[in-house]
Structure 1
Amino acid sequence: MAPASFCHEKVCVMDASGRLGSTLVERLLQSGYTVHAAVQGHGDLKFNGVASENKKLKIFHADPFDYQSIIDALKGCSGLFYAFEPPEDQPTYDEFMAEVEVRAAHNVIEACAQTETIDKVVFTSSVTTVVWRDSPQTTTSDLDERHWSDVNFCRKFKLWHALSKTLAEKAAWALAMDRGINMVSINSGLMMEPHLSITHPYLKGAAEMYECGTFVTVDLNFLVDAHICVFEDVSSYGRYLCFDHAITSHEDAIQLARLLTPSTPSPAQSYEEANIIIPQRLSNKKLNKLMVNFESERLLVD
């Protein structure tokens, strides 16, 4: 359960129709929050295990490109959990998605600046905003939240997901600092879910991430915990790399490949391949430390 001071807060989740957003809505309601669930689509929205009649749940149809609809969804809320979901008419990442995602991020952060009750924004980003650059193997130190992907490198190799996430997050940070918005970001690894497929845009360059020790995944529940932790912990700041598993062995890679392409036979592997362990090059120490301290404080409160 959330600490008592948070139980009566009203927060907005946008976009609440995605897997992360809908799970966040469920968890926040279970913890006693009042939730404005902002969705892009129309029609009824179903949350697993949460009755739409829940008096603490209010559903808004908020388009990130319709400024007034964002303002309406944020009204009276003290916090926003924001995750971009591609528009239905443009579901895949391409060279034009960066402009779309940047515009959406700008609208949402500007709306927060115009909403007097907003105290904190949790902005969902990606590990792909960190890992892409020329010759990452030559870097002596681990990559962490202080690093950014090179946008020119992303353009050159058509890494559209990384380009969009990097430009959108940078735009959000610039506007948040200019408008005095208290914002933290969760830079997520590849979110593991039942319907994950090889076409997921995060997976462009997966082999290279694996070889460089920067291919990481995250369980949905851990990701949700991280979002709530950085929102509730008053000491949270800046960016947090969020993952709970690194793909560092040939067996790890094969298991993931089986999940993504179950009908494809697994490739044969040599003894040498089976025993190679690639050093993990990403650090999530900042988030892990925050979550350990946060859980300790929760136990004391309970």
Structure 2
Amino acid sequence: MDAAGPLGHALVDRLLRRGYTVHAATYASCGGDEREEEEEEAAAALLSHLSSCGGDVDAYRHRLKVFRADPFDYHAIADAVRGCAGVFCMFNTPDDQAQCDESTVETEVRAAHNVLEACAQTDAMERVVFTSSVTAVVWSGAGAGTGTHGHEEAVADEKSWSDLAFCRKFKLWHALAKTLSEKTAWALAMDRGVDMVAINAGLLTGAQGLRLTAAHPYLKGAPDMYDGGVLVTVDVDFLADAHVAAYESPTAYGRYLCFNNAVCRPEDAVKLAQMFSPAAPHARSPPPPSDELKVIPQRIQNKKLNKLMLEFASGVYGELD
């Protein structure tokens, strides 16, 4: 959960291909009869995506059950995870800044609490893979990319956490929501004895039908992230594979920074900008040179994830699709 977004679709596809029975939970906005209609629509959307990916939809139907859950409804979440051996917990980010505010923070923290509590009460639960964000890592009290101690040469890694007061001060709601919800999940996992792994993902790209705009909450403060050498993106297929590896690898532990593209050169920044409006004239012609952008040293590393993916690929877990 939430299985309605691009990452959810990609994960459901991979899990079904690997033989799992999948409970695909999506967040409900209605109740009663309308909620049942939403379940049918969500199931149809998932099956349509699986069909477009070349999956055997008829073979999948008996192994796919769609649930509609409310992040504030513990019992609905508990129903969705009952009997499951693993949970992939993610919250789809709104597409624009106007939809991401303090209420988003409250929603994600409450949802994280309810999901982890439900997992703790599920006897069959083996591991929770919690999808967090790089924005929960890179914002220190001195800005982006300055490390946990404020030194310019510091490199952000799995030990780094975004500063809550800094995020509140500059209204970095996406970063605040991801940091607080992940901290909430870790606190409950440790208290309840839940085996949890966190994936701190870069800005999601590469998904079919993904609506990416410059107003995406992840990108608030993007110039500072660029200057700090911590502006990174991740392809949806790579991110889904990382989730599968984190779930199936017995050696997986703690947090993993997940990205496969670091935006550190002016041409990288231009390519990223062109994703926001691919139909615009500048996307069809070479952009003019920018005097404001310079090559920035990369100050974020994902060696831990690369090691996990290499071990997974060379292990006995089966090939990733």
Fold match (TM-score > 0.5) = yes
Aligned residue for 1:202? 218
Consecutive unaligned residues of structure 1, counting only runs of 5 or more, are 1-13
Distance 1:301 1:240, change over 3 A: closer
Query: For 1:178 and 1:287, how far apart are their aligned partners in 2?
Result: 25
Aligned residue for 2:41? 44
**Would you say 1:294 and 2:312 are equivalent positions?**
yes
What SS does structure 2 have at the residue aligned with 1:152? helix
Could you tell me how far 1:264 is from its partner in structure 2?
6.2
1:215 aligned to which of 220, 225, 231 = 231
Could you tell me how far 1:195 is from its partner in structure 2?
2.2
Query: For 1:107 and 1:198, how far apart are their aligned partners in 2?
Result: 32
Could you tell me how far 1:181 is from its partner in structure 2?
0.5
| Contact 1:258–1:264 (Cα < 8 Å) also in 2 | no
What code does the residue aligned with 1:73 have?
Answer: A
Could you tell me how far 1:299 is from its partner in structure 2?
7.7
| Contact 2:128–2:196 (Cα < 8 Å) also in 1 | yes
1:148 aligned to which of 161, 176, 179 = 161
Distance 1:87 1:196, change over 3 A: closer
Query: For 1:190 and 1:144, how far apart are their aligned partners in 2?
Result: 16
Corresponding residue pairs, total: 286
What SS does structure 2 have at the residue aligned with 1:124? strand
What code does the residue aligned with 1:173 have?
Answer: W
Distance 1:16 1:301, change over 3 A: closer
Query: For 1:27 and 1:299, how far apart are their aligned partners in 2?
Result: 13
Could you tell me how far 1:24 is from its partner in structure 2?
0.4
Aligned residue for 2:296? 278
| Contact 1:86–1:92 (Cα < 8 Å) also in 2 | no
> Following superposition, which runs of at least 4 residues in structure 1 exceed 6 angstroms of deviation?
299-302
RMSD: 2.3
Percent of residue pairs identical: 53
Consecutive unaligned residues of structure 2, counting only runs of 5 or more, are 29-37
Distance 1:300 1:161, change over 3 A: closer
Query: For 1:109 and 1:287, how far apart are their aligned partners in 2?
Result: 23
Provide TM-score, normalisation by structure 2: 0.83
Distance 1:98 1:28, change over 3 A: same
Deviations 1:43-100 (A, max 9, x none): 4222212537621111111222111111111111100001013699x98211222111
Aligned residue for 1:183? 196
Task: Map 1:126-137 onto structure 2 (within 5 A).
Answer: 126-135=133-142, 136-137=145-146
Deviations 1:202-259 (A, max 9, x none): 0101111011100000000000000000100011110000000000100100111111
What SS does structure 1 have at the residue aligned with 2:113? helix
Provide TM-score, normalisation by structure 1: 0.88
Aligned residue for 2:91? 84
What code does the residue aligned with 2:154 have?
Answer: S
